[in-house]
Structure 1
Amino acid sequence: MLEPDYPIRTERLLLRPFTPADLDALHAIQARSDVARYLYWEPRDREQTREALETKTTQTALRDEGQALSLAVELAATGELIGDALLFWHSRTHRSGEIGYVFHPDHHGRGYATETGDALLRLGFDDLGLHRVTGRLDARNTASARVLERLGMRREAHLVENEWVKDEWTDEVVYAILRREWHKRQDERESTR
């Protein structure tokens, strides 16, 4: 079980539960075609964003497998909501989970997704006790693949035309990291500081 002590602080970010007040900022992200390009959904109108937000506001803890933790990502210095992060608990028995993230394009290229991913892995491995965490993405989303690689995740699979998404067959790439690999990486990072 995981009930984080909010907000979760990183060097530059705060990860916290979504609230109804996040509607405008979340809609500014979800309404964009460049954001939705590699996701399962099309750009969302305000009502669709409101419905998604209603679900996100309830995903504040992981009490059992099959649940997701949805976190608003905001800049600590300004309080601006810049992204959306997800930790999904797949299996209690196999101690497996998955991470995901979506950021406003105005904030791409600054390391925020990597910083967020690192916080999600810490939650999954240290707080939830997961053994293995994956990241799945459309194979064309090379920017997201680079984020997962910077997190130390290895590319384990390239599934060719395995999903029908937005009227086309799409390839999926799967990345993963084990708890011991993540801890070794953390220890190495600490020793170089």
Structure 2
Amino acid sequence: MTRSLSTRSGRIELRAPTEQDDAAVAALRSHPYTRRHIPAFPETFTVEDAKALRLKRDADLSHIPFYIFRTDTNEFIGATSIAYLDRDERACDTGILLREEYARAGYATDTMHAVLKHAFEEEGMHRVSYHTSEKNVGMRGWLDMAGATLDGILREAWPDKDGYTSVCVYSILEQEWASVVKQRLEERIDKRGCLDG
């Protein structure tokens, strides 16, 4: 099992979940910023809930979870995963949760580059999919920038407090990763590195 992934910038590292991170995960999953585009997440998510989720995913061979840490401070900043991994069909899903203060600062790009690289180049995936709320303009813009394709919209697929939210399904195929997406993300990461440095 993969225990950690390095990132192109070196600013963050993706690590396997541990018990020490359960409180941070509980806070992330129940935070209003996280829940605004994932309405199925509960308002209250306890440390015990985080532990149960971690143990469930540890036992699930179709799920490779990672927690995101800053390398300079060792601070937990979010979570990502490769989910619904189907080795026969060579397909999986992925996504990302970041703490609000780390949004729009290049951490998602660095994280998703590492996850996609692992999915396509190490796990041998042909297709990686993303599901995001139709209202999540930020994530949809990021997926468009990266070169993902909007496959369609699942109408009223996620229940929320007002009824239902429609879900956009995007995908990246292995040839698109190799010919377009990888380079776009690396250029963006490297440009941010120059600005930061």
- TM-score past 0.5 threshold: yes
Alignment: residue pair count: 185
Aligned counterpart, 2:6: 9
**Range with bigger deviation, 96-105 or 145-154:** 145-154
Alpha-carbon contact 1:74-1:80 (below 8 Å) kept: yes
Could you give the per-residue CA deviations for residues 16-70 of structure 1, whole angstroms, max 9, x where no partner exists? 0111111232233123122112222122342xx432334325645974xxx2111
Alpha-carbon contact 2:30-2:44 (below 8 Å) kept: yes
Q: TM-score, normalised by structure 1?
A: 0.84
**Range with bigger deviation, 131-140 or 152-161:** 152-161
After superposing on structure 2, the runs of 4+ consecutive aligned residues of structure 1 that deviate more than 6 Å are: 188-191
Alpha-carbon separation, structure 1, partners of 2:128 and 2:185: 20
Does residue 1:115 correspond to 2:113, yes or no?
no
Equivalent residue runs for 1:98-177 within 5 Å = 98-166=93-161, 168-177=163-172
Alpha-carbon contact 2:158-2:165 (below 8 Å) kept: yes
Alpha-carbon contact 2:109-2:185 (below 8 Å) kept: no
Counterpart residue type for residue 92 of structure 2: G
Alpha-carbon separation, structure 2, partners of 1:114 and 1:190: 9
- Partner SS for 2:81: strand
More helix by share: 2
Aligned CA-pair RMSD? 2.5
Structure 1, unmatched stretches of 5+, are none
Structure 2, unmatched stretches of 5+, are 191-197
- Partner SS for 2:156: strand
Alpha-carbon contact 2:150-2:168 (below 8 Å) kept: yes
- Identical positions, percent: 24
Closer, same or farther: CA 113–57 of 1 in aligned 2, 3 Å: farther
Q: TM-score, normalised by structure 2?
A: 0.82
Counterpart residue type for residue 50 of structure 2: A
Alpha-carbon contact 1:114-1:148 (below 8 Å) kept: no
Shift of residue 77 of structure 1? 1.1
Could you give the per-residue CA deviations for residues 75-127 of structure 1, whole angstroms, max 9, x where no partner exists? 11110000010111342222111111101001111011121111111111111
Alpha-carbon contact 1:59-1:69 (below 8 Å) kept: yes
